[in-house]
Amino acid sequence: MSLLDQLATDMKQAMKQKDKERLSTIRMLKSSLQNEAIHQGKDLSEDDILVVLSRELKQRKDSLQEFEQAGREDLADKVTNEIKVIEGYMPKQLSDDELSQMIDQAVQEVGASSKSDMGKVMQVIMPQVRGRADGSKVKNLVQARLS
């Protein structure tokens, strides 16, 4: 079942269960996906869908940090629930060991030896980990590996 089909099914289920928070989050996701499809002028592939979901997840995490710093626990709770719903549609996240192995392979593949080769390594590794690892975490691990 594709992610779009899963979202549609879950939206119907949330309506039946009168789960307003889950329903509003799923509607927001479907809206973002529809906007992206219109922007691209074509149907979204699974990779495109993961990019949109990752972007939405990152926005929520950034918002959560801001709300917590501002002491807005009511908004922080709402965003935390949205994050949980979005994470339910994301693929299983890579462990640090798996990520390190992939980075080592990418470094060997491009023959990277210094921080100036970081862009080459990131260009190889990011398509492989899209949706399964946070980009900033990957960047930090690549930096540590090349230093």
CATH number at residue 82: 1.10.1510.10
Query: CA-to-CA distance for 111 and 103, rounded, in angstroms?
Result: 12
Tokens of 41: 């002028």
Residues 41 and 113 in one domain: no
Note down the domain range covering 117. Answer: 96-146
142 three-state secondary structure: helix
- What's 126's domain CATH number? 1.10.10.410
Residues 11 and 37 in one domain: yes
DSSP state of 112: -
- Contacts of residue 9, defined as CB under 8 A and 6 or more positions apart, other chains included, come to 1
101 three-state secondary structure: helix
What is the count of structural domains for the chain?
2
Please, are residues 141 and 103 in contact by the beta-carbon 8 Å criterion?
Answer: yes
Boundary of a domain, candidates 61, 87, 113: 87
Place of tokens 């965003």: 79
Residues 75 and 131 in one domain: no
Residues 50 and 30 in one domain: yes
Residues 11 and 74 in one domain: yes
Residues 54 and 82 in one domain: yes
Q: What is the pLDDT of residue 29?
A: 93
DSSP letter for each residue of 17-82 = HT-HHHHHHHHHHHHHHHHHHHHHTSPPPHHHHHHHHHHHHHHHHHHHHHHHHHT-HHHHHHHHHH
Residues 81 and 100 in one domain: no
Residues 77 and 15 in one domain: yes
Q: What is the pLDDT of residue 56?
A: 92
Residues 10 and 59 in one domain: yes
Per-residue pLDDT of the chain (147 residues; tens, 9 = 90+): 688 889 999 999 999 999 999 999 999 999 999 999 999 999 888 888 888 998 899 899 999 999 999 999 999 999 999 999 999 988 888 888 888 888 888 888 888 778 888 888 888 888 888 778 888 888 888 888 888
Residues 80 and 139 in one domain: no
Boundary of a domain, candidates 45, 66, 87: 87
pTM over 0.85: no
Query: CA-to-CA distance for 93 and 138, rounded, in angstroms?
Result: 12
Residues 101 and 81 in one domain: no
Q: What is the pLDDT of residue 1?
A: 65
Boundary of a domain, candidates 43, 68, 87: 87
